A and B are shown apart, each in its own frame.
Chain A
């Protein structure tokens, strides 16, 4: 079987990719620190438990992106003639399912805690010889772990847009929304401090709803991707690339009619171009013209199969 051609990012986007990779490594490092920190102080708080699970799940998107970044250099071969792009989408599917299921689990757990009217007990911790209410420690950890993630989220949106990378964008948005987790957790613990025993479980429920929502939104996107839906921009609008490819090919003098069918694979477009030609003389040169015209539309247009039919009469 003939393996498909490999894909290279345009030169000007290589530094953007590098920056994105560095940001994702920084994210992974910070999440590792946060996961340990939150685990150490979470105690019996529902809100802290929900925040911890959300932190654990935050490993998924950066890992998927970094693995994809590695695989993009791997050429399609005999075993995988279409290349390795899909493996990343599948990893992201697994991650979205995990987000949805675990979010639901924590939500149910928080609601059960509320219904059972369980009062969370939070005592003191000694820090440097001083006795401090552990709630203050939990609030400090939530705040300190939240701020860098929100900053990283903002920083990743730019590269995501330039690279048209939906995984990176999804990750950036989830990080940016972490302010809600930190705020809900802090309010929950302050609530316990005031004597509102229900505040913590309520905060846990709020956080888990946000996690579920992230899971469902990403699940829908990934499923549509795997079903080869029509190409969309990074903001979810219908992409104009298929139409523009059609118009570019129609501009060729020997072309009578054109139809295009494109799908997205990671950041590239692949698909079929159906051409009705006035004459099929010198076909290989004509096919090359079609390919060049299509690729000139957008850097992401990659592997095209061109079908030519000669117009009769």
Chain B
């Protein structure tokens, strides 16, 4: 492909860059924005522990930070690991916080974020619905900004 022979294609690409690609096929980010963030939680001490209906721990703090960034309220749902991930793949959940690592066999069937916590031998991630790339990018930006804040302290 020679750029000077395809000016329209290049203009299109530049326009798209400005248009805020990527988008969500199922509009997850739009729905969650100032709405409800449906989170599938599984107890995974020390990262996530149940306290009543809500959760606490570093992973829970991250989820709350994400919800704050979207102006959304969190709806915690408690069930098993596989139950939540199947629901996520069906788009019945927006996020799964279950002490998942980057080696999870669910990679590909659901989306995995970049690592929010590094430990020798395990990189912890959150799971998002498959293909919801705008939502994933927004969640990853929150993770990045928390890393930046933590390292500047």
Q: Is B128 an interface residue (CB 8 A)?
A: yes
Contact for A123 among B17, B23, B25, B114, CB less than 8 A: B114
Q: Decide: A120 near B1, CB < 8 A? Known: A190-B13, A193-B21.
A: no
Within 8 A of B (CB), among A114-143: 118-124, 126, 131, 133, 135-136, 139, 143
Q: A121-B136, A124-B140, A136-B17 are in contact. Are A183 and B131 (CB under 8 A)?
A: no
Q: Which residue from A126, A139, A190 sits with its C-beta under 8 Å from B144? A: A126
Q: Are A193 and B133 in contact (CB under 8 A)?
A: yes
* Chain A residues with CB below 8 A from B131, complex form: 118-121, 192, 197
Query: B1, A131: Cβ atoms under 8 Å?
Result: no
Interface residues, chain A, with chain B CB atoms under 8 Å away: 44, 118-124, 126, 131, 133, 135-136, 139, 143, 146-147, 150, 179, 182-183, 190, 192-197
* Bound form: Cα–Cα A121–B136 in Å: 8
Instruction: Tell me whether B21 and A190 are in contact (CB under 8 A).
Output: yes
Size bin of chain B's contact surface: 20 to 34
A135 to B131, CA, bound (A): 12
Q: Cβ of B22 < 8 Å from any Cβ of A?
A: yes
Instruction: Report the Cα distance A146→B9, complex, angstroms.
Output: 16
Within 8 A of A (CB), among B70-125: 108-114
State how many angstroms separate the Cβ of A226 from the closest Cβ of chain B: 36
Q: Top 8 closest A-B pairs, CB basis? A: A119-B131, A121-B111, A193-B21, A195-B23, A193-B22, A119-B130, A195-B25, A123-B136
Min distance, Cβ A119 to any Cβ of chain B, angstroms: 2
Given contacts A123-B137, A124-B140, 20 further A-B contacts (CB under 8 A): A118-B108, A118-B131, A119-B131, A122-B22, A124-B137, A131-B144, A133-B22, A135-B21, A135-B22, A135-B133, A143-B1, A146-B1, A147-B1, A147-B2, A150-B2, A183-B1, A190-B21, A192-B131, A193-B22, A197-B25
Closest CB in chain B relative to A156 CB, distance in Å: 17
Residues of chain B touching chain A, judged by Cβ–Cβ distance below 8 Å, are 1-2, 13, 16-17, 21-25, 108-114, 128-133, 136-137, 140-141, 144
The number of A-B residue pairs with CB atoms under 8 Å apart is 82
Sampled A-B contacts (9; CB under 8 Å): A119-B130, A119-B131, A121-B110, A121-B111, A121-B132, A124-B137, A150-B2, A190-B13, A194-B16
Q: What is the bound-complex CA distance between A133 and B113, given in angstroms? A: 13
Most buried by B among A131, A135, A195: A195
Distance in angstroms between the alpha carbons of A194 and B133 in the assembled complex: 10
Of all chain B residues, which has the CB nearest A200?
B131
